[in-house]
């Protein structure tokens, strides 16, 4: 499954340098035909294929771009529990793939 992202651009602060447009590997950003209160064309998200790579935010000299990534709402399960109490070493691997291959248990 592809990672999905989105950006929020402070259009009133954007100075239209176009660095974000050039940095976007997905071609998701473009310059608006409209202008902001300062007279600059500002960047806008034009496609729904943003991956949340943060390239645009990294190159923005005025830090007007906030990047968001979708996260999977899945409960985290421990894969390994490693304990060392007074030389009593206990290693537990809770991985179905490892169990099929003769996983580690001590």
Better-predicted residue by pLDDT, 20 or 2? 20
Better-predicted residue by pLDDT, 106 or 73? 73
pTM (global) more than 0.85: no
Structural domains in the chain, CATH included, are: 5-69 (3.30.70.20), 75-106 (no CATH)
What residues form DSSP beta bridges with 1? none
Burial group, residue 20, by CB count within 10 angstroms (0-12, 13-18, 19+): buried
pLDDT tens-digit map of 49-73: 999 999 999 999 999 999 998 877 6
């Amino acid at each position: 499954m592809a990672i999905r992202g989105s950006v929020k651009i402070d259009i009133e602060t954007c100075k239209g340098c176009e660095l974000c447009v050039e940095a976007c590997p997905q071609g998701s950003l473009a310059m608006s035909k409209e202008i902001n209160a300062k007279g600059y064309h500002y960047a806008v998200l034009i496609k729904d294929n943003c991956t949340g790579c943060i390239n645009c935010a990294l190159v923005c000299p005025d830090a007007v771009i906030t990047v968001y990534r979708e996260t999977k709402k899945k409960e985290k399960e421990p894969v390994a529990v490693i304990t060392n109490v007074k030389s009593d070493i206990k290693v537990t691997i809770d991985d179905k793939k490892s169990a099929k291959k003769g996983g580690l248990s001590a």
